[in-house]
């Protein structure tokens, strides 16, 4: 494998500490990095290489990654970590970065392979790419054979307009095939398995349409609040943080057509078509199809406006207006400080045409379901009705269950590990293309517009969200 350097912007932040360094450590331990690779962290703080390595060591002790904390591997790993003080808005820092890259490669910095990871607020992106370009570290028109890739964190923009502006700014410095827009959900084994489950089994796909499916429910619930990320959450809110990306990406994986082949663009073409087909909400349907909530106590959180109207919960009924899904409701619910932490997709099938068995409404609770739990468990369950033992002929729901951890114990990579590896090898299937980003913003912008300033409803901590949310199930 040819040598390359990973340059992390925001290397002292939460994401870098909890997810990126543990994943790079795993890449190192599993032999996915070349001999002379380097990881260069940047941030505003004035740290020596040694002081920065100590912060990485502490981060790894707290979050050791999938492979656990490995004392023997840690010293050689830390030796390949470096730090450059860099304020994103100041050009000199980028020249220091250039020099650090040159020192390491022993050649002109522009010829080396570089993977940039932007673990900073996406609003800082235009500044970063412009300054990289000015320091000779941009992606286009490289004078020699080195490659450049840039990984950009979600949310990509705040709305359609800003997403387009961001893309135009990044597009001036990097080609589309060098840009990797990450949504870590797409790196999860259970999410990637949605495609495999649907398209490698002959029995589900023929039923996977409006003729046999009565509804799809997608739930992304967390039993904790915003922790200490008040400033970030006030800027973003749940619609931008979860619905625009994770929730709509899950919806697209469930609803997409089979791709022509497994190339990145064939798969992303199909997902993009689904997002384009989602019916945009209007003020006329917002009252019955959308409920936003805010958990009680949110306004007392650190760095939160005491009069904040930012939503921490959303329940939304979507329709996908295409041949396959016409009329099938997709219920999406997501929130903070709910009763449990769980991401789950439930596909409910229609009842048989006649109900022979009691109790009389039994199809309501014995209707066939495919239940995909994305996290914390990694399971797929099939629900069906079966005869309850006894004299009466009555049905009860039972489940057949597959659990990743039972069938494949100890296997699997974390989402960031997998996606970093994909970016290094240039596989873009699980990164979001700009057209999908824009369609998803169209959906979210329509929701915001349809709500026309409606306030989020308060809900008690560790509840199911506002009571009115059940209204979206019509
Ligand atoms: N945290 C997560 O679990 C998570 C999950 C998914 C996506 N994300 C996304 O990842 C991004 C980063 O999130 P985070 O939680 O890591 O944020 P964070 O904890 O606030 O960290 C922000 C980082 O950016 C650096 N930074 C900010 N302004 C800078 C400037 N002017 N010059 C140089 N460095 C600057 C900070 O460095 P210094 O303060 O040291 O200078 C810090 O390292 C966000 O877009 C977020 O949406 C985060």
Task: For ligand 1, say whether the CB of 13 is within 6 Å of any of its atoms.
Answer: yes
Q: What is the pLDDT of residue 110?
A: 53
CA angle 55, 137, 187 (to 5 degrees): 55
Residue 114, beta-bridge partner list:
5, 148
Atom of ligand 1 nearest to the CA of 241: 47
Query: Ligand 1 centre and the CA of 84: distance in Å?
Result: 16
Q: What is the 16 CA–ligand 1 centroid distance (Å)?
A: 8
Residue spans per domain, the chain: 4-182, 186-413+433-473
Atom 24 of ligand 1, residue of closest alpha carbon: 10
Ligand 1 site-directed mutation target among 11, 40, 43, 59, most atoms within 8 Å of CB: 43
Residue with structure tokens 């959180």? 301
Protein residue closest via CA to atom 25 of ligand 1: 10
Query: Among residues 384, 425, 387, 379, which one has the least CA distance to residue 406?
Result: 379
Does residue 45 line the site of ligand 1, with CB under 6 A? Answer: yes
pLDDT recorded at residue 333? 98
Question: What is the maximal distance between C-alpha atoms in the chain?
Answer: 83
Supply the pLDDT for residue 73. 85
**Nearest residue to 412 (alpha-carbon basis) of 11, 63, 66:** 66
Q: How many CA atoms lie within 13 Å of 332's alpha carbon, on the beta-carbon side? A: 27
Does residue 463 line the site of ligand 1, with CB under 6 A?
no
119 Cβ below 6 A of ligand 1: yes
Identify the architecture of domain 186-413+433-473 in CATH.
2-Layer Sandwich (3.30)
Is residue 37 exposed (0-12), middle (13-18) or buried (19+ Cβ within 10 Å)?
buried
User: Whose CA is closest to 269, among 433, 152, 430, 442?
Assistant: 433
Residue identifier of the C-alpha nearest atom 22 of ligand 1: 13
4-182 — its CATH code? 3.40.50.720
- The CA 103 to ligand 1 mean position distance, Å, reads 27
Which two tokens mark 343? 């991401």
Residue 106 has what pLDDT?
Answer: 59
Atom of ligand 1 lying closest to residue 89 CA: 31
For the full predicted model, state whether its pTM sits above 0.85.
yes
Tell me if 369 sits within 8 A of 359, measured CB to CB: no
**Ligand 1 atom nearest to CA at 231:** 20
- The C-alpha angle with vertex 68 and arms to 67 and 72, in degrees rounded to 5, equals 95
Q: Is 246 a catalytic residue?
A: yes
Chunked into runs of 10 residues, the chain (474 residues) has average pLDDT values of: 91 94 93 92 96 96 79 90 96 94 65 92 92 93 85 94 96 96 96 97 96 98 95 95 98 98 97 98 96 98 97 98 98 98 97 81 83 96 94 91 92 89 95 97 98 94 96 86
Among the options 246, 281, 417, 439, which is catalytic? 246
Nearest CA to ligand 1 atom 45: 121
């Amino acid at each position: 494998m040819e040598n390359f350097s990973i340059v992390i912007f925001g290397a002292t932040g939460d994401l870098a500490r909890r997810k990126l360094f543990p994943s790079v450590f795993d890449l190192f331990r599993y032999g996915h990095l070349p001999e002379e690779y380097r990881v260069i962290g940047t941030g505003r703080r004035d740290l020596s290489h040694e002081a920065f390595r100590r912060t990485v060591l502490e981060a790894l002790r707290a979050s050791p990654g999938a492979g656990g904390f490995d004392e023997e591997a840690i010293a050689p790993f830390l030796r390949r970590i470096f730090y450059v003080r860099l304020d994103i808005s100041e050009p000199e820092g980028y020249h220091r970065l250039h020099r650090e890259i040159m020192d390491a490669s022993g050649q002109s910095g522009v010829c080396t392979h570089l993977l940039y990871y932007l673990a900073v607020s996406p609003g800082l992106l235009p500044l970063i790419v412009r300054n990289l370009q000015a320091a000779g570290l941009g992606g286009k028109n490289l004078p020699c054979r080195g490659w450049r890739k840039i990984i950009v964190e979600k949310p990509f923009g705040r709305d359609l307009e800003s997403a387009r502006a961001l893309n135009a700014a990044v597009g001036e410095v990097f080609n589309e095939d060098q840009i990797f827009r990450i949504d870590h959900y797409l790196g999860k084994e259970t999410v990637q398995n949605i495609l495999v489950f649907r398209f490698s089994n002959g029995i589900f796909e023929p039923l996977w349409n409006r003729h046999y499916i009565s509804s799809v429910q997608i739930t992304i619930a967390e039993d904790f609040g915003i922790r200490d990320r008040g400033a970030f959450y006030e800027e973003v809110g749940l619609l931008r943080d979860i619905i625009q990306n994770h929730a709509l990406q899950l919806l697209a994986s469930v609803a997409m057509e089979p791709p022509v082949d497994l190339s990145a663009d064939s798969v992303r073409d199909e997902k993009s078509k689904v997002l384009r087909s989602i019916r945009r909400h209007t003020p006329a349907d917002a009252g019955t199809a959308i409920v936003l909530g805010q958990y009680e106590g949110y306004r007392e959180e650190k760095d939160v406006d005491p009069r904040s109207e930012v939503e921490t919960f959303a329940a939304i009924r979507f329709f996908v207006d295409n041949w396959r899904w016409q009329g099938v409701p997709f219920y999406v619910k997501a929130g903070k400080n709910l009763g449990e932490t769980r991401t789950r997709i439930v596909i409910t099938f229609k009842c048989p045409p006649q109900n022979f068995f009691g109790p009389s409404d039994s199809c309501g609770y014995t209707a066939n379901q495919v239940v995909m739990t994305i996290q914390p468990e990694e399971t797929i369950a099939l629900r069906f009705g079966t005869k309850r033992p006894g004299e009466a002929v009555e049905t009860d729901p039972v489940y057949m269950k597959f659990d990743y951890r039972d069938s494949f114990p100890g296997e699997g990579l974390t989402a960031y590990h997998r996606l970093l590896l994909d970016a290094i090898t240039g596989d873009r299937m699980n990164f979001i293309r700009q057209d999908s980003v824009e369609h998803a913003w169209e959906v979210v912008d329509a929701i915001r517009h349809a709500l026309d300033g409606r306030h989020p409803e308060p809900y008690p901590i560790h509840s199911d969200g506002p009571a009115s949310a059940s209204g979206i199930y019509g």
